[in-house]
Structure 1
Amino acid sequence: MAGATLPTALYGRYQEQLGFGPLVQTTLFASYAVGVLAALVVLGELSDRLGRRPLLLLGLAAAALSALCFLLADGLPLLFAGRLLSGLSAGVFTGTATTAVVELAPPRWSRAATSAATAVNVLGLGAGPVLSALVAEASLAPLRAPYLVHLLLLVPAALVTWWQPETAGSQRRDGGGPAPVSAWRPHLLRPTVPVEVRRAFVPAATAGFAGFAVFGLFTAVAPQLLVEQLGVGDRVVADALVGVPFLASAVAQVATGGLAAPRALVAGCAGLAAGAALLVAGLAAQALPLVVVAATLLGLGHGTAFRAGVASVRAASPEGRTGEVVSTLFVVLYVAISLPVVAVGALAVATDLPTAAEVLGVVVGLLALVALVVLRRRPLEG
């Protein structure tokens, strides 16, 4: 997952080299979501049919190809190709790996496994900017070295994945083998949510949309905001601050693992709403401490709601369709991490970047409040 956000710390360098503006920057960031959505929509059900391990190996191969594109990039075409491939890999990891981790755990560890799986997703996304910033600063080839490190990290990941046991046992045929490829039919652009899952899915998806929209903002334009608007003079420090909400999210997911999903989802939505209000206030006042507090609160809210949302959707999913339903949830989340931030880039062209970011903060707060209203009217069980 760190590979998906490695370019975050490098966008400023790419801008200096290629001379593009905020709309191109946010579109380049968001283009990886196209790869994510393609993986989730087309391959979401395939892991239920063929097994988790083959899909995870496919994701690792896409990650390696993405790193190669960035290594060879001398213009926008290869940068966009690298982002699309990193999105494809992230889409596979997001849906399939999250499900596989939960399935690998003994039943008594199910709740902790869900927390661990979702925390690793977010912690990886947060680690990407920090890793690339540190490597780029210490390297004579700042636009190449982070991707070499990424390729090296993929080697042990591939070995572990190759040796792990297959976990999609409930999806196998009576004869013990996975369903044949001919039995699979992709849900092309038609993600499905069974009727019995919708009560849990709607608040989880709404809260998740709010949280991931914020994460899109932080990974796409936060370093630029921190340096140009909030007075952070050190580029490495600015890139490290991008990891604050991701770290807070991972901590929240582990810390709230023992909290029942309905209560956790309510608490997460409240945290997102409060954090969004602080973010808007901090940006308007150009107050760095307030923005850091807002980022922390947004991360805590995101992590709490994200972990609870995935858990509640998994629990409500019918047997044999868990991978498909979880992938559908992540379709919503990766639309959230892409489209709003492209809108921020477009609005920044018409106004300025701080104003555009403030508008997104208001939208995020409203979405979190909508999720709270839905949960109040139709409380979840459990």
Structure 2
Amino acid sequence: MVPRLTPPVAFVVVGATLGTVLAAASAPSPLYPAYQQAFGFSAATLTVVFAVYVLALLWALLVVGRLSDHLGRRPVLAAALVLLLGSLGLFLTADDTSTLLLARVVQGLATGTATAVLGAYLLDLQRYGTQRGSLVNGVAPTAGLAVGGLLAGVLAQYAPLPLRTVYSVLAVVVAGLLLAVPSLPETAPRRPGALGSLRPVLAVPGAARRVFARSVPAMVSTWSLGGLMLSVSGSVLATRFGVTDHAVSGLVIGAFSGAGALASFLARGLTSPVLTRAGLSVLVVGLVGFTGALAATSLPLLAVAVVVAGAGFGTSFLGMLRALSALAQPHERSALMSAVYTVSYLAFSVPAVVAGVVAGRIGLSRTVLGYAALVAVLAAGALAAELLPGSRRAGPTVPAAPARVPAATGCGAGRS
């Protein structure tokens, strides 16, 4: 019999896995200009490379996202990590555009499946009476995006095999995490209805629907900025600022996502309404600075604006997650996280894809400037909606108490 990890250790492993999955997702971003040069494809094809990843991810969220509520967390997580390893293998062997596209499709399927089950797993394993699961759900993805972007940029610039080394490193880490899955406690016993859960549907728990609807404008404004940063930041640095160093491109992505992770951690003691409103306020300030930096072609101002906007992204997203996660029952958590990430990734992808098409007509610099200005307006609108009388969230100011892991799992009653 495989020995089971204690809940505190399992919580750390699951959080590390979520960060690693998102690190793998951001790793190709600093490399897009190098892929364009190596494979000779256009900016329009780059948009397709980005789009197929997100489409596959959304399909996985909609179709597979609720599956772990019925089959259990462990088997669905194991399948997601196997898919992720397969995608990393495809990146390692990619020597043309078609293989790159296939790698991104498989990676999208893996990421969509993994984020839903890992988000629910963290809520299951958090210590009774705390909101550490919500905190890690907010911090780990942004931290992972930061590490993946920075690692890929640095290795591409200074290590041999610039389009392959980062995927080798990630594959080793993912393989180690996959080996740890059988040791995780199972927190979602099998329930009937697994086939029915495969119907593509957004299943927001009834108790969370009102708060979810109020959160949509904030999700859209924050994640649409994330899509801009991860899809074209490297190209913007090259065309607008003359920066072609992959490490600098990775540093920009790392600064944006890393600031979000750090700000979320430092502000973790605030209530969900305060987090969301403060985060959106900071995001608006960062976006104003971002548009000013693009207009003035000021790299120092851009660096400051990216950090400020990233901090706003992280804290506002944590506020939304905290308000929502406390309103879901244990068997509803995977479905809720699927719904959150579906809306977020739609906002992440659709504007970026449209921007890629528009850039072919009016140029990348003008497109990005207009994109950033539009996101600033959206964030300001979301903030205004948050500040309206009576808009205070139903989310908790006191941590919700998650269900305990059944004794049959052999985990006891402890929590991390």
TM class by smaller structure? over 0.9
- 1:282 paired with 2:297, answer no
Q: Which piece of structure 1 moves more, 188-197 or 219-228?
A: 188-197
Per-residue CA deviations over 1:265-324 (Å, capped at 9, x if unaligned) read 111111222212211111111111221121111111111111111111112234521210
Q: How many residues align?
A: 372
- 1:217 paired with 2:217, answer no
Task: Specify the alignment match of 2:53 in structure 1.
Answer: 32
- 1:3 paired with 2:24, answer yes
- Separation (CA, whole Å) in 1 of partners of 2:295 and 2:368: 10
One-letter amino acid of the counterpart of residue 186, structure 1: S
Quote the offset at 1:93 in angstroms. Answer: 2.4
Which of these residues, 126, 143, 154, is aligned with residue 146 of structure 2? 126
| Preserved contact between residue 134 and residue 325 of structure 2 (Cα < 8 Å) | no
Quote the offset at 1:215 in angstroms. Answer: 1.3
Per-residue CA deviations over 1:216-237 (Å, capped at 9, x if unaligned) read 1111111121233124353312
- Separation (CA, whole Å) in 1 of partners of 2:230 and 2:221: 15
One-letter amino acid of the counterpart of residue 124, structure 2: E
Task: Specify the alignment match of 2:134 in structure 1.
Answer: 114
- 1:54 paired with 2:75, answer yes
Change in Cα spacing, 1:342 to 1:315, as seen in structure 2 (3 Å) is same
Quote the offset at 1:348 in angstroms. Answer: 0.9
One-letter amino acid of the counterpart of residue 73, structure 1: A
- 1:315 paired with 2:335, answer no
Change in Cα spacing, 1:101 to 1:193, as seen in structure 2 (3 Å) is closer
- Separation (CA, whole Å) in 2 of partners of 1:280 and 1:7: 25
Counterpart of 1:316 in 2: which secondary structure? coil
Change in Cα spacing, 1:203 to 1:359, as seen in structure 2 (3 Å) is farther
Alignment map for 1:294-333 (pairs within 5 Å): 294-333=305-344
Quote the offset at 1:137 in angstroms. Answer: 2.7
One-letter amino acid of the counterpart of residue 316, structure 1: L
Task: Specify the alignment match of 2:172 in structure 1.
Answer: 152
- Separation (CA, whole Å) in 1 of partners of 2:205 and 2:160: 53
| Preserved contact between residue 27 and residue 148 of structure 2 (Cα < 8 Å) | yes
- Separation (CA, whole Å) in 1 of partners of 2:153 and 2:289: 27
Compute the RMSD of aligned alpha carbons: 1.8
Q: Which piece of structure 1 moves more, 201-210 or 54-63?
A: 201-210
- Separation (CA, whole Å) in 2 of partners of 1:75 and 1:358: 31
Counterpart of 1:229 in 2: which secondary structure? helix
Alignment map for 1:151-190 (pairs within 5 Å): 151-168=171-188, 172=189, 178-180=190-192, 183-186=194-197, 188-190=199-201
Task: Specify the alignment match of 2:247 in structure 1.
Answer: 236
| Preserved contact between residue 205 and residue 309 of structure 1 (Cα < 8 Å) | no
Q: Which piece of structure 1 moves more, 262-271 or 24-33?
A: 24-33
Which of these residues, 132, 140, 144, is aligned with residue 160 of structure 2? 140
| Preserved contact between residue 123 and residue 333 of structure 2 (Cα < 8 Å) | no
Counterpart of 1:338 in 2: which secondary structure? helix
Counterpart of 1:379 in 2: which secondary structure? coil
| Preserved contact between residue 68 and residue 334 of structure 2 (Cα < 8 Å) | yes
Quote the offset at 1:67 in angstroms. Answer: 0.8
- Separation (CA, whole Å) in 2 of partners of 1:222 and 1:166: 40
Task: Specify the alignment match of 2:392 in structure 1.
Answer: 379
Q: Which piece of structure 1 moves more, 65-74 or 23-32?
A: 23-32
Which of these residues, 316, 336, 341, is aligned with residue 347 of structure 2? 336
- Separation (CA, whole Å) in 2 of partners of 1:8 and 1:216: 10
Counterpart of 1:257 in 2: which secondary structure? coil
| Preserved contact between residue 26 and residue 221 of structure 1 (Cα < 8 Å) | no
Q: Which piece of structure 1 moves more, 29-38 or 330-339?
A: 29-38
Change in Cα spacing, 1:196 to 1:117, as seen in structure 2 (3 Å) is closer
Q: Which piece of structure 1 moves more, 197-206 or 54-63?
A: 197-206
Q: Which piece of structure 1 moves more, 75-84 or 191-200?
A: 191-200
Quote the offset at 1:119 in angstroms. Answer: 0.9
One-letter amino acid of the counterpart of residue 196, structure 1: A
- 1:197 paired with 2:208, answer yes
- Separation (CA, whole Å) in 1 of partners of 2:93 and 2:315: 39
- Separation (CA, whole Å) in 2 of partners of 1:10 and 1:319: 39
Q: Which piece of structure 1 moves more, 204-213 or 56-65?
A: 204-213
Q: Which piece of structure 1 moves more, 14-23 or 302-311?
A: 14-23
Per-residue CA deviations over 1:59-84 (Å, capped at 9, x if unaligned) read 11111110111122222221111111
Alignment map for 1:57-136 (pairs within 5 Å): 57-108=78-129, 110-136=130-156
Q: Which piece of structure 1 moves more, 197-206 or 37-46?
A: 197-206
- Separation (CA, whole Å) in 2 of partners of 1:192 and 1:103: 18
Which of these residues, 358, 365, 369, is aligned with residue 347 of structure 1? 358
- Separation (CA, whole Å) in 1 of partners of 2:73 and 2:299: 43
- Separation (CA, whole Å) in 1 of partners of 2:210 and 2:301: 36
- Separation (CA, whole Å) in 2 of partners of 1:250 and 1:200: 23
- Separation (CA, whole Å) in 1 of partners of 2:199 and 2:123: 26
Quote the offset at 1:118 in angstroms. Answer: 2.1
| Preserved contact between residue 214 and residue 364 of structure 1 (Cα < 8 Å) | yes
Q: Could you state the TM-score of these two structures normalised by the residue count of structure 2?
A: 0.85
Counterpart of 2:131 in 1: which secondary structure? helix
